[in-house]
Amino acid sequence: MSASSGHTDIRVTGWIARLPPALRPYALLARLDRPIGTWLLFLPGIWGILLPQGVPAAERVRLIVLFGIGSLVMRAAGCVVNDMWDRDIDRQVARTAGRPLASGALRMRHAVLFLAILLAIGLSILLQLNGLSQILGASSLMLVALYPLAKRFTWWPQLVMGFTFGFGAPLGYAAAAGHLSLAQLALYAATIVWQLGFDTIYGFQDMEDDARIGVKSTSRLMAGRAKTFIGTCYALMVVLLAGAALLAGVGLLFWPVLLLPVFLLWRQVVGVNPADPALCLAQFRANREIGFAVALALLAGLVAF
């Protein structure tokens, strides 16, 4: 598939089309037309907030609100950094050729100023959290900056993405519990392999373009054994989630509700098809519901008998 084939997931219709023309490129640069990335950044944070036991409900709600705002802002910042690094590559890939920096709708100076504003907002959110969370949040910026480079040097950029997008799990846990633990570590590992799986599915859309321009990806590496690889990632996710729940001492209701995300994950593994870009995009987006199902299980685990 060439960049001229028109395949893209950029949405310029709907409320984006009603924005003033000068603001539309910034909304597209921040991926506000595609909120799925914000959800997939936000949901691990919810998991981390819900996992530790004994946290007052009002504090959990406060943290979830802060993480929601922070996820929107920091996902936008990450997209800006990604597009600054990848603008030359994006011009050669059908799905990304219309991005504002790749298409010339915005210049680098515009992106730098926009990034500074987003980071300032993110900092104001971070300062509402405890000291440990502030340290963790600041350290995550290194992952945000380095992730776009991964595809240039390794076949596993989706794994690096997992470490980056999954960082909300330990951050949420630290914000709620005030410390780190083995339960938090297991939850973070579960988040990483989950995101490795679904981002590999997402990357199946770009394999032809990636091969043509020499971009490495887990999707290209595992396309011939997609079901086995995605199934392994998702199975590890479930095992690690169970380990995190046991270590945290969650309530018994967690276990029956966990069957819902297990079913949804199994359905993705059975249906995955690297040769069907539309299906891959739909399966990627369906991970929002999987993330909510995990959050529901953790919420059920807070119910005491």
Instruction: Give the model's pLDDT for residue 2.
Output: 38
Number of neighbouring beta carbons within 10 Å of residue 68? 16
Instruction: Give the model's pLDDT for residue 121.
Output: 95
H helices of 51-93, where? 57-90
Q: Which of 258, 261, 259 is nearest to 286 (CA)?
A: 261
Number of neighbouring beta carbons within 10 Å of residue 138? 11
CB distance 108 to 101 below 8 Å: yes
> What does pLDDT average to in each consecutive run of 10 residues of the chain (305 residues)?
49 79 90 89 97 96 96 92 84 81 90 95 95 92 76 83 91 96 97 96 85 82 93 98 97 97 97 93 95 98 80
pLDDT (tens digit per residue) in 60-104:
999 999 999 999 999 999 889 888 888 887 888 777 888 889 888
Distance CA 36, CA 46 (A): 15
Give the N- to C-terminal CA distance of the chain in Å, as an integer.
56
Instruction: Give the model's pLDDT for residue 165.
Output: 86
Distance CA 244, CA 296 (A): 15
Give all strands (DSSP E) within 84-197, no chain letters. none
Q: Which of 142, 228, 132, 141 is nearest to 172 (CA)?
A: 132
How far is it between the farthest Cα atoms of the chain? 60
CB distance 35 to 110 below 8 Å: no
Distance CA 249, CA 242 (A): 10
Distance CA 274, CA 159 (A): 18
Distance CA 128, CA 14 (A): 34
Instruction: Give the model's pLDDT for residue 43.
Output: 97
Instruction: Give the model's pLDDT for residue 3.
Output: 41
Structure-token pair, residue 64 = 């979830």
Residue type, 303: V
- Work out the angle at residue 130's Cα, subtended by the Cα atoms of residues 144 and 165, and round it to the nearest 5 degrees: 25
238-247: buried (b, 16+ CB within 10 Å) or exposed (e) per residue? Answer: bebbbbbbeb
Q: Which of 122, 120, 198, 136 is nearest to 168 (CA)?
A: 136
Instruction: Give the model's pLDDT for residue 249.
Output: 95
